[in-house]
Each structure stands twice: as C-alpha cells, then as structure tokens.
Amino acid sequence: MKTIQLCNRSIDVLKAYQAPTGAFPAAPDYPPYNYVWLRDGTFIARALDLVGEREGAAAFYRFASRTIVAHGFKVERALAAAACGRPIDDGSCLHTRYTLSGEEGREPWGNFQLDGYGTFLWGLAAHLQAGGPWEDIYRRAVDLVVRYLTGLWQHPCLDCWEEYGDYRHPSTLAAIYGGLKAILPWLEDESRKTGFHDAGGEPEGEQNPGRMVLKVDDVLERLPELARSEFIRDGNWVKFAGQDAVDANLLWLGVPFGLCSLDDPVFTATVARIATELCSGGVKRYAADTYYGGGQWLLLTAWLAWYYRLRGEEAPARELLAWVEDRADNNGFLPEQVPENLTSEAHYHYWLERWGPIANPLLWSHAMYIISVRGMEV
C-alpha cells in the first residue's frame, strides 16, 4: 500500500475500533489482546492527536483517567508493600491492562509493569500541550500516577514485553522519566494555583502539588544517573543489567522519552547495534525472542524509521516504512509481527497452536506507522 493510503486507512482503523468508553482494544480480533493496555492505548491516542483527531484522543485519556482513579486505592497498597519489602502483586499494583469498560482482567497476567504509566503521562502532556483542556479527572489521575511512579521507579517490574519481572529495565526507566518530565509543567501550575509549597505540614498527595513537584524534580535528577551507571556496558545501552544483549525498546531512551539526546554517542552506538543485530528488513524485539518464533515487529520497524526521520536521515527511514507498507494485508491491516527471519520455527508453531494466528490488526502497529509518517515533533 502507498503511504497516504495506508496512513488514512490506519486512522480509520484506530477510529473504527475505539470502544464507546474511549478505550482501544490492543487487537480487536485476537482474544488475548481484547483489552486496553495503557502503553498501546497512549501511542494510539498520540497518533490520533497528531492527525487532528483530538476528540478520539481526549476520549481515551478520559477513559484511562477514570480507570486509574477507580483503582486509585491500589497506589497506597503498592507503596506500602514496597516500603516493607513485600512483593507487589496483582492485588496491590495498578494493572497494565484493563477491559474495555475499565475493569481489571480476571485471568492471570503479568500485571506489574510501570512503563505504561509513564507513557500515559507523556501522551497526556502532549495532548494538553496541543490545547486539550486540563480536566479535573486528568488532575486526579495524574496525582495518583505521579505518587505511584515517584514511589516505585526503582522497583524491578516486568518490561514492556511483559517479561523479566525480576529486573529493572532502561526502557521502563525512560518511559517514567519521559512521563514525569512532560507532566511537570502542569504540576507546577497546580502548585502555583493552590499556593502550596513544601511547608512540611500539609497532607500527602492530592492536596499538596508543591510536594509532588519536589518529588518529581528529585526523580528527574537521580534517574538518569542510576540508568547510566547500571545499564551501559562497553559503550552501549543494554536490555537489563548483568548481560549485554540489546533490545529494540532501547530506542525509547531517545525517541520519544528523551533520557538521551539523539546524538548522544552511547545512544547512537546502541541504535547502530539495533540496526545491525535486530534489523533485516523489519526489526525484531531482541535476538533471543521466541514469542511466535521471534519474528519482525511492524511497530518497531516504524519506530526505527521515526528515529531516522528525526535525525534527518530520510533514505533509511523510507526503506523501513516501505517494508511496513508491503506487509499490510488486503484490508490494509497491519499485524503485530510477521514470521520472517524467525529465531525459532518451533516456537512459532507452539504459539500458533496455543493462541491462534498472530494479532492482526494490532492497533499499536497502525499508531506507530502514523507517528513515524506524521510525527516530526517528539
């Protein structure tokens, strides 16, 4: 499919599958993904904002905010568990995905993932920056998420691929950093309006935006230092500490979360590794990936193209986007991944039998394609 055609088709797909609640199912025709993930949903809303579909984006942020507020009691539970060294389980964490009406899923899932909450703050801030009004429901959700992330950012949790939950991950830290940094001006504004500063005596939380600002400032100062000391090995960022594999999610450090500048030498060396070790036409998540055999992901291919475009390197970007365009099916649907250049053929068949054909359409793939084509502002 041609770029303009696929871009328009992608916008239609995102709008068509948005639930009346404002939620976006990750993949409407693939039962395990008939949930809304904050991670996927925020990039979808960001894509809609970029193409001027502000109402669709606002409906998503309202849905997500209502859902967070409805489960807000879990923030204190999670912080309390962390404070006394108890594990943060399903009963105490804010979940990574919800039903389309905003309830927690019932079947077992790896729910403790912090990156989606950082991504949510980043996307919401971009929505507000583009003129969306600062609604009360956003303020309440932001308050909870900021408490949650500033309290737990150093805690190990599952990464954005829902794996390796005993580790900390630079991609997760980048999402937290990018989200907190993006939302800070609204917190500062709240703090000015309420006149609260760190007088020490005010109650925790909602009522004290001044204290929240100080907490955010503190994390923004400490997090980059911790990330650099823990996750750089031989001049490259690595997937997690204690090994030297690269993961395509390390792109997030530069684009869009800004933990590294795009011309930071360690970051550019890492992207070069992603391009040589994980990209052959399309981009894999990481070399040892076996989910559906470890194929090539459309959203990551679009992500690498986004990076090249922001660097002014149109030729490689065009090549990657053409690869994505060639993988649209007759309906103009983009799948999660394609079984090309597999790491393990046996695992491809294992997953096919277990969960059926690869998710298609995957709304996040459409979103990243739109963002890469249209998103020249981070």
CB of 202 to ligand BGC, least distance (A): 37
Of 39, 284, 309, 366, which one interacts with ligand BGC (CB under 6 A)?
A: 39
Instruction: Tell me: does residue 40 bind ligand BGC (CB under 6 A).
Output: yes
Rounded distance, CA 174 to CA 227, Å?
A: 9
Compute the least distance from the CB of residue 296 to ligand BGC, in Å.
14
| The dihedral formed by the CA atoms of 51, 136, 378 and 282, expressed in degrees to the nearest 10 | -70
Minimum Å distance from CB 84 to ligand BGC? 30
17 touches ligand BGC by CB under 6 A: no
Alpha helices in the chain (DSSP H): 3-17, 38-50, 54-70, 73-83, 115-129, 136-152, 170-194, 209-231, 265-273, 298-310, 314-326, 345-355, 363-374
Near ligand BGC by CB under 6 A: residue from 11, 26, 152, 317 = 26
For the window 206-235, what string marks contact with ligand BGC as x by the rule CB under 6 A? ------------------------------
Chain CA centroid to CA 349, Å:
28
Structure tokens at 260: 């590294």
Beta carbon nearer to ligand BGC, 117 or 186: 117
Residue 111 beta carbon to ligand BGC: minimum distance, rounded to whole angstroms: 12
Using the rule CB under 6 A, is 161 a contact of ligand BGC? yes
Q: Which of 159, 190, 247, 325 is catalytic?
A: 159
* Number of residues in contact with ligand BGC under rule CB under 6 A: 10
Q: Does 247 bind ligand BGC (CB under 6 A)?
A: no
Q: Do residues 175 and 168 touch, judged by C-beta distance below 8 A?
A: no
DSSP 368: H
Beta carbons of 337 and 358 less than 8 angstroms apart = yes
The reply to whether 37 sits near ligand BGC by the rule CB under 6 A is yes
Cβ burial, residue 77 (10 Å; 0-12/13-18/19+)? middle
Report the site for ligand BGC in 121-160 (rule: CB under 6 A): 160
Would you count residue 292 as binding ligand BGC (CB under 6 A)? no
Q: Is 159 a catalytic residue?
A: yes
Using the rule CB under 6 A, give the single segment among 32-40, 121-129, 340-348, 349-357 that binds ligand BGC: 32-40
Sorted by sequence, the CB contacts under 8 Å of residue 322 that are 6+ apart come out as none
**Could you give the CA distance from residue 152 to residue 161 in angstroms, rounded to a whole number?**
19
Cα separation of 231 and 347, whole Å?
Answer: 29
Residue with the CB atom nearest ligand BGC in the bound state: 26
Residue from 360, 357, 337 nearest 349 by CA: 357
Q: What Cα–Cα distance (Å) separates residue 185 from each residue in 95, 351, 374?
A: 26, 44, 25
CB of 37 to ligand BGC, least distance (A): 4
Q: Is 336 a catalytic residue?
A: yes
Judged by beta carbon, residue 25 or residue 132, the one nearer ligand BGC is 25
- Rounded CA-CA distance 216/117 in Å is 14
Query: Of 175 and 219, which CB lies nearer to ligand BGC in the complex structure?
Result: 175
C-beta closer to ligand BGC: residue 110 or 224: 110
Binding segment (CB under 6 A) for ligand BGC, from list 37-45, 69-77, 86-94, 368-376: 37-45
Q: Binding marks (x or -) toward ligand BGC, 357..376, rule CB under 6 A?
A: -----x-x------------
Which of 7, 9, 24, 33 binds ligand BGC (CB under 6 A)? It is 33
Q: Cβ neighbours of residue 61 under 8 Å, at least 6 residues apart? A: 22, 45, 123, 124, 127, 132, 138
Cis? peptide before 361, omega within 30° of 0? yes
Closer to ligand BGC by Cβ: residue 246 or 358? 358
Helix (H, G, I), strand (E, B) or coil at 258: coil
Q: Kindly state the smallest distance separating residue 113's Cβ from ligand BGC, in Å.
A: 9
Residue of 29, 90, 135, 162 with catalytic role = 162
Helix (H, G, I), strand (E, B) or coil at 247: strand
Question: Applying CB under 6 A, does 177 fall inside the site for ligand BGC?
Answer: no
State the residues that interact with ligand BGC by CB under 6 A. Answer: 26, 33, 37, 39-40, 160-162, 362, 364
Positions marked catalytic = 159, 162, 336
